[in-house]
A and B are shown apart, each in its own frame.
Chain A
Amino acid sequence: MTTPLLQARDVSKTYRLGRVDVPVLRGASIEVGRGEWVAVLGSSGSGKSTLLHILGGLDRPDRGRRLDPRERAAEIAFEGRSLTSASKRELDRYRRSSVGFVFQFYHLMPELTVLENVVISAMIRRGLGYATRAREARARAKELLDSVGLAHRLRHRPRELSGGERQRVALARALINDPAVLLADEPTGNLDRATGEQVLGQLAEIRRSRGLTMVMVTHDRNVAERADRTVRLVDGRVAADASM
């Protein structure tokens, strides 16, 4: 078997809420193959967003003591390279160049125009080097916005857009740096069914045309059904892993 593109093994994560420790993940494991579309299904509080954040290098799994000697240490790997022991800078770089995030609440910058919201991702990726590639990045952003049907909205602010349009801007932003993997956290969770379907259709189309690897967190079985494979999280553990 070839090395999976993204791999998480025995991931535990406990949050502290006031004085109470709330375990969110309790040894969850997942493997995502190159070009695969994996849906992570679970009820709210099952730890699916946390798993996504850990896969995207935004968060780290617990390093706590292993009570059970048979328990193995948590391990996250991208293209076979471990992210568990990566430095902050390496994780920043990983997020910049290999990962694209799409969130339930779009998370666009309200002061920036549609075009700038997309371009900013390229700015962060390139740093000072962006200056020499600005024209190229803007052209690419326009192309992406055109492909999601927003070519006429470039100079608008997010508040002037509908929910579906905002999520499509977020999608373009996630894609501008050609990431290896797209991590989507309930991308249709805030949209009505019809709009959700439309956005999902675009996601599927983009993934197919680019051979993009995608991990999508959802609580909606209908959404999960469109994926290649569904992973079900129950109480912080993977309860079922079924290929569709």
Chain B
Amino acid sequence: MYQALITRRYLTSKVMPLLASLAVVLCTAMVLITWSVMGGFLNSLLSTGRTMIGDVTINWPNRGFAHYDDLVARLEADPMIAAAAPVIETAGTLTLPDDRVELVLVKGVDPESFARVTRYAETIWWKPLAEPMPKDGEREDIRLNPSFQFDDGVGNRRVDWNEVERQGLTLSRVDPETGAPEPALVMGLNVSELNRRKIWGGYVPTYPQRQLADGSVEDVPAFLPVNGEVILSVAPFDSKGRVVDMVTRSIPVANEFNTGVWDVDSRTVLVRLDLLQQMLGMDRARRVEQGDPREAFAPYWDEAAQRWVFTPPDVVVEDPPRVTSVLVRAHDPDLDPEVLKAQCRIIYGGFVAAHAGEVPVASRIRVNSWADLNRVMIAAVKKETSLVLFIFSFISLTAVFLVLAIFWSMVSERTREIGVLRALGASGLGVASLWLSYGLVIGFVGSALGLALAFVIVHNINPIHEWLGSALGIVIWDPAIYVFTRIPSEVDPVHAAMVFVAGVVSCVVGALIPAVRAARMDPVAALRFE
């Protein structure tokens, strides 16, 4: 009981213990902020899979495989699987309105099935917005303005956000001349480099600039999702992997998407699956082949050559359309990807049996989860997280020694008071527990304040970071390096609890040696201490 009273009085009357507490505040906050950001980084990296590819991708990165409709139907018939979508992935170049040429990853998707497997619809950026983004206090976001206009060179042109969103969802845009829908392209928000990121987390578009022959520069009056057009070039391969001929096509821009993953948003473009199949020669096609000599052997007399010809006659075969991948999403978002992968392999086995000779055999097909596809990066982040945590926890050990030093000097300073307590009948254990409980309270207060500090900093880490960048020119989080355009800003309650306990325990450990020293003091010597 007396321990509680004295602890309370010591806490409110001395500066030293507050310094110890402050050290604990800083250490716990530092560790928790690091853990939250790095852990959040890892979590976003893992969860991005569902935004981008669903849970698992079945992939044959060559000429692709045919009869994918059957595979999709078989996959979707499985109770474990919610949806599947055929996709083509290939490399290409994109020529932007400012004549810049960028190397891009081109994905041919069927918008409807793609949106069912991934979170594509959520990632579409240009769409009507009813509520401003959380940090957009000034309502600067142009998407909030239903009558937003821009100068398209002819006059002011109103943007119909609903129409722009629909364009994104269907990957098509209405041709202003014919009034008919034509295939259009949706690209990552950072591909064009024309969208300027603002401190409140959104983007404002800018006009592209083009250099003229005389060396001057002019603005191109284009807002991509309304009147922007790009040139897409892709390379079809033949069955031997040789490029047949580059195919180039001018395509209007329908919209832009934002997954938050820099790597994806800066180099991915989406087009309609049928368009890309057509460009790559992967659509339904008639092909002339030599017939089987055993079935149709009919030698004939060639008049011109004046000889018998023994070549079997040509036959016309129809090639079904092909894709390079099928994306799969499970019903249960927490399903172990390994289980899903195994199930996909079984289903693919059945598919191969039904189309023997026409599709790649099961052993050659690749079935990967998002984590598999990014295992190097994920492993690097995991290692980096544990390394940084280890280093910071080690640094936090200084708090233990600080508490030890401060308590040691306090015990020296209060030697006589310890003697008095002993004279009043306090036991050595009682005196030790006084100092331990004091350490406990310091740890409790310090850790609680440290947690609070960490919560505040982590929840506002992006504005703080933006402010550092604009005010002091310090950019710690470069999206090009750290993959994500936003710094993760969630605190895991389990991590917070662990840091809290560690903070309290550290203080008690730091107080332990001074407490033992106080307990072992000779009461008479303590009383006589000057």
Q: Which residues from chain A contact B419 at a C-beta distance below 8 Å?
A: 107
Return the chain A residue nearest B8 by Cβ: A111
| A59: contacting residue among B416, B421, B524, CB under 8 A | B524
- B428 interface residue per 8 A CB criterion: yes
Return the chain A residue nearest B10 by Cβ: A111
* Complex contact A97–B9 (CB within 8 A): no
Chain A residues 60-106 with CB under 8 Å of chain B are 88-89, 92-93, 95-97, 99, 101, 103
Interface size on B, residues (CB 8 A): 23
* Complex contact B1–A126 (CB within 8 A): yes
- A109 interface residue per 8 A CB criterion: yes
* Complex contact B9–A124 (CB within 8 A): no
Q: Which residues from chain B contact A130 at a C-beta distance below 8 Å?
A: 1
Given the complex of chains A and B, what is the CA–CA distance between A16 and B426 in angstroms? 26
Given the complex of chains A and B, what is the CA–CA distance between A130 and B4 in angstroms? 12
- A194 interface residue per 8 A CB criterion: no
* Complex contact B428–A88 (CB within 8 A): yes
Known A-B contacts A111-B6, A127-B1; the reply to A120 vs B424 at CB < 8 A is yes
Known A-B contacts A109-B6, A127-B1; the reply to A92 vs B427 at CB < 8 A is yes
Closest Cβ of chain A to B339, distance in Å, is 55
Return the chain A residue nearest B3 by Cβ: A123
| B423: contacting residue among A50, A58, A128, A131, CB under 8 A | A58
Given the complex of chains A and B, what is the CA–CA distance between A93 and B426 in angstroms? 8
- A206 interface residue per 8 A CB criterion: no
Interface size on A, residues (CB 8 A): 33
Closest Cβ of chain A to B216, distance in Å, is 79
Return the chain B residue nearest A108 by Cβ: B420
Known A-B contacts A92-B426, A111-B13; the reply to A123 vs B524 at CB < 8 A is no
Chain B 412-424 against A: per-residue CB contact (8 Å), 1 yes, 0 no? 0000110111111
- A5 interface residue per 8 A CB criterion: no
- B425 interface residue per 8 A CB criterion: yes
* Complex contact A101–B417 (CB within 8 A): no
Closest Cβ of chain B to A129, distance in Å, is 9
- A173 interface residue per 8 A CB criterion: yes
Q: Which residues from chain B contact A10 at a C-beta distance below 8 Å?
A: none
Chain A residues 125-182 with CB under 8 Å of chain B are 125-128, 130-131, 173
* Complex contact B524–A173 (CB within 8 A): no
* Complex contact B425–A124 (CB within 8 A): yes
- A121 interface residue per 8 A CB criterion: yes
Q: Which residues from chain B contact A109 at a C-beta distance below 8 Å?
A: 6, 9, 417, 420
- A219 interface residue per 8 A CB criterion: no
- B527 interface residue per 8 A CB criterion: yes
Given the complex of chains A and B, what is the CA–CA distance between A111 and B423 in angstroms? 18
Q: Which residues from chain B contact A125 at a C-beta distance below 8 Å?
A: 425
Given the complex of chains A and B, what is the CA–CA distance between A108 and B1 in angstroms? 18
Q: Which residues from chain B contact A229 at a C-beta distance below 8 Å?
A: none
- A112 interface residue per 8 A CB criterion: yes
- A56 interface residue per 8 A CB criterion: yes
- B430 interface residue per 8 A CB criterion: yes
Q: Which residues from chain B contact A97 at a C-beta distance below 8 Å?
A: 425
Q: Which residues from chain A contact B524 at a C-beta distance below 8 Å?
A: 50, 53, 58-59
Closest Cβ of chain B to A59, distance in Å, is 5
Q: Which residues from chain A contact B1 at a C-beta distance below 8 Å?
A: 123, 126-128, 130-131
Closest Cβ of chain A to B386, distance in Å, is 43
Q: Which residues from chain B contact A53 at a C-beta distance below 8 Å?
A: 524
Given the complex of chains A and B, what is the CA–CA distance between A207 and B466 in angstroms? 76
* Complex contact A112–B6 (CB within 8 A): yes
* Complex contact A116–B5 (CB within 8 A): yes
Chain B 295-323 against A: per-residue CB contact (8 Å), 1 yes, 0 no? 00000000000000000000000000000
Known A-B contacts A53-B524, A59-B524; the reply to A89 vs B427 at CB < 8 A is yes
Closest Cβ of chain A to B421, distance in Å, is 7
For this complex, 11 residue pairs linking A to B, each with C-beta atoms less than 8 Å apart, are: A58-B422, A58-B524, A92-B425, A93-B425, A95-B423, A95-B424, A107-B416, A107-B423, A107-B527, A120-B2, A123-B5
4 cross-chain pairs, A with B, having the tightest CB-CB distances, nearest first: A96-B425, A111-B9, A123-B2, A95-B425
19 extra A-B contacts, CB within 8 A, seeds A58-B524, A111-B13, A126-B1: A50-B524, A58-B422, A58-B527, A96-B424, A97-B425, A99-B425, A103-B420, A107-B419, A108-B420, A109-B9, A109-B417, A112-B6, A112-B9, A116-B9, A123-B5, A124-B421, A124-B424, A124-B430, A131-B1
